[in-house]
Structure 1
Amino acid sequence: MRLDLADLRLFLCIVDAGSITRGAAAANLALASASERLRNIEADAGTPLLERRHRGVATTEAGEALAHHARLILRQQALLKGELRDFAAGNRGTLHLYANTAALTEFLPRRLAPWLARRPRLRVELRERTSAEIVKSIEGGLVEAGIVSNAVESGGLHLQPVAKDHLSLIVPAGHRLATGGAVRFGDVLGEPFVGLAPGNALQEHIEEHARAAGRVLAMRIRMKTFEGVCEMVSHGIGVGILPATAASRLRRRHAYHAIALTDGWARRSLCLCYRKWSGLSPTMRSLFQHLGALPRPGEGSRAR
């Protein structure tokens, strides 16, 4: 059979109305056109589908079967259209987002949760990478966007600041620096350090700056979480470096002092990073607007 969706809709309109005339009106077709299409449907089926009666029409057994399957097909089409609209609106599918450590641990959780809660059919795959790795991935077309530090060299990519991301040195309560002011990273390179686990994007970033200064951090222990680093530092194991927001939040539970780092790379902002606003998927644009993208995000600032 060569029935299309318009044929199925017309047939159901006639069946539901119990009349070819009223069915044609419900389908917004002229009576002559509807009658011609109905004859073609029956000819294509090879069997009568309707019994013509004095006061209208009734379905034959074959007509009942066609009506049943027509309803199933049109219902599936409506579901398909709804799903495609969800994809187009960014409410369904899988969103892949790369972010640095500070974004994943401090910035995203409370901001992402309400946005994602309104999209129960959407999945988000988060990947932790250093800012430099994220920029390379976007430039290479491997990912569409990410969240990075503005300290990274972004080339031709757009960066839009959405939050402060300063780093703080944390030291035990009795440490020689505990009562002082801000310090340079270079002034603490000789200290024993409590670091984050290998592969952590923030820790790699910190160690890169140590190597750039010609030093290797004296690592006493590595912990998987900011909480673990704070626990170790509070017991005098060494010093650590965390996002200032995490250092401030966790001071309620641990005895240490947080000290600002004066280095430019440590006084940074978290930025939405992408090549071109119009090139982002509807889902990513929706998320970035929720996270604080500017009204004209295609003209976002670039890193200096």
Structure 2
Amino acid sequence: MHENFRRGFPSPRTIEKKIAKFELLLREGEIGAEVFKDYLLRNNLPLVCSIAEDATGVVGRREYSSEWNSVVGCSLPLKSSGLPDFNMSIVKQVKDIRKMFQLYERSSLVMIVMAQPLANVPPVGIGQTGVEQGWYNCPKTVILFRRLGLVLAAQQWPFFSAAILDETIQIQDMIHIGAKLRTRLLKRAKFMAIGEKIASCSFVEALLNLVMKDKHKLREGDLNLNDKINYGAVERLCSPHVAKLLSTFVPGAEATSFYLKLMHLIASSFLDKSLPPLDLLDALKLRNIFKPELFLQWL
């Protein structure tokens, strides 16, 4: 594009320089908390943030990195902090490379850690590491029990090395919560009663037939239950105008309209930074209905 629009589009070199200002050079298994804190202070941002992690499958490859003098792509053993031990991947001799290929599995997943400041700014990547598998049921159970205050993880499970801080609240990210709420609405086998009415995707289908697409802005695939990771469909379904159209044009759709309003408020409590404080509190109360272990924290 730079070759075709030299006066209006910057060169790749210029773009690389701009991006380099925001690049955090972190070794595998490190969490750049200090670097992230400096970023918050430089930009006068609050020292409170949301931390999110997720893993995605990759076609793993083990190779030598001259930048770090290490072999990347291996699933490294854990330190006492629960993070991978980067020192185990450092190459001191050629035979170390052969040893790593023999001892450590090839990473099939990459886990990314992102930090979102409580301000209208983009999130920052503060860590990444390769792993060869996802969570098992046991670590999930430990975390769930700890969130509910039922047991101290370190006392009940001595093998659980990572400490869980009382100052943090663990929640699932909004993308997956919204996807689950959409999936529940689309399941026809189990009807959903709200008061004296039924919430069902059948009312949304009726809306598609009664109202022009330029008004409801929905797509046929938004009601496809087989596509459980269609996050764009979640945003379109819980848009306020869809709930309003249901109440106006579809008889008996009050429960469905109410359910979509709940979805919107729950999503807004996470994502909409422009909400006034009182509106945000109302949205938080609705979110805590679906997350009871947070209710005491919120009170």
Q: What interval of TM-score do these two structures reach, taking the shorter chain for normalisation?
A: under 0.3
- Which has more strand, going by share of residues? 1
Ranked by relative contact order (alpha carbons within 8 Å, sequence separation 6 or more), the top structure is 1
Larger Rg: 1
